[in-house]
């Protein structure tokens, strides 16, 4: 049994982490919910018990075994090393450590071998990257991916509570009192997630490129992403086009995906069955459908991939990493 801290416990991902810890019966001896000083003192419930949210400080990690961080990159950069120095295993959901060559970037279904029992700081990948690599890694192992072209359709929960409030207010009253986005999100699509970089891509798109290379352990894969925010409350969708080095047949593709850990194939278009954000809500699998050849290129394949961004895209993957660490340390 372990003492577990959740940093950012009052946020959307933090709240989902608490729920996933409870659902998966994670061996929690004591849970410490942590948040900013503004949220300190709030009450949260865990396994039927009411707990008081603690303010973030250096001393709050005393006696903690595992800390799940979801409070932004600046907080993680400041406090994760301090927690690690106290013997805590930190699993960080921000972008702070993902591309650090010394920090494992882990999706347990894809690269569990990339973390060791001795590691104390582990990065949780970006939500849109996680669902893509869960679907593509087993195909890459068989046919070798040369190039990925992906367009994302990302829900507002990926931006946090302020964005969710903006969507609700725009849908009910037409305007938002404190908008998160630079434009209306209701009845709109924004091809703008995170900050634009000098090359014209956003940080979100860069994450999908560089994190895919690191997780798949193959820098030769070409990745061309366009990340779009859509007026969906929860659940990210991705239209993925893949070019393989080797030929394939669709039956084998189906078989590989149906056997892949964490993947559920939903692909009966004649019966109007295909992955949708509503279908993926509160589930942990990555759902794959609209599987079809791309007739415009040799060895081309199209996929439609959907997952709950707060669960597998964040909270569940973080808890799975903690479970993986416990397993590795017990061996």
DSSP 232: -
| DSSP per-residue letters across 237-289 | EEEEEEEESS---HHHHHHHHHHSTTEEE--BGGGTB---HHHHTT--SEEEE
CA nearest neighbour of 95 among 77, 116, 83: 77
Strand partners, 226: 151
Confirm whether 189 is a catalytic residue.
Answer: no
Are 247 and 293 in contact by the 8 Å Cβ rule? The answer is no
Are 70 and 8 in contact by the 8 Å Cβ rule? The answer is yes
Confirm whether 127 is a catalytic residue.
Answer: yes
CA nearest neighbour of 235 among 131, 164, 308, 168: 308
- Residues tagged active-site: 127, 236
């Amino acid at each position: 049994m372990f003492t577990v801290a959740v940093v950012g416990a009052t946020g959307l991902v933090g709240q989902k982490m608490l729920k996933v810890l409870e659902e998966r019966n994670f061996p929690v001896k004591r849970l410490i919910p942590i948040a900013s000083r503004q949220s300190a003192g709030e009450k949260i419930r865990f396994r039927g018990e009411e707990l008081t949210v603690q303010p973030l400080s250096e001393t709050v990690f005393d006696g903690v075994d595992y800390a799940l961080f979801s409070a932004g990159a600046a907080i993680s950069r400041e406090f994760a090393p301090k927690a690690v120095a106290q013997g805590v295993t930190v699993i960080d959901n921000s972008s702070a450590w993902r591309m650090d060559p010394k920090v494992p970037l882990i999706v347990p279904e894809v690269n569990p071998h990339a973390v060791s029992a001795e590691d104390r700081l582990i990065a949780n990948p970006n939500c849109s990257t996680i669902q893509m690599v869960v679907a593509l890694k087993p195909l890459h192992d068989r046919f070798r991916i040369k190039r990925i072209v992906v367009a994302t359709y990302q829900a507002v929960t990926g931006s946090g509570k302020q964005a969710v409030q903006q969507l609700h207010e725009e849908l009910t009253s037409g305007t938002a009192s404190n908008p998160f986005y630079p434009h209306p999100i209701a009845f709109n699509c924004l091809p703008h997630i995170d900050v634009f970089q000098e090359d014209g891509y956003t940080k979100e798109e860069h994450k999908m490129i560089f994190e895919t290379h690191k997780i798949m352990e193959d820098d030769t894969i070409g990745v061309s992403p366009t990340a779009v925010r859509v007026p969906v409350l929860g659940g990210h969708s991705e239209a993925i086009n893949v070019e393989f080095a080797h030929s394939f047949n669709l039956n084998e593709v189906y078989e590989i995906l149906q056997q892949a850990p964490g993947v559920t194939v939903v692909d009966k278009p004649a019966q109007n069955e295909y992955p949708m954000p509503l279908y993926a809500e509160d589930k942990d699998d990555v759902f794959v459908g609209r599987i079809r050849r791309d007739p415009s290129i040799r060895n081309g394949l199209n996929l439609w991939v959907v997952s709950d961004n707060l669960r597998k895209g964040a909270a569940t993957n973080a808890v799975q990493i903690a479970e993986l660490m416990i397993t590795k340390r017990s061996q």
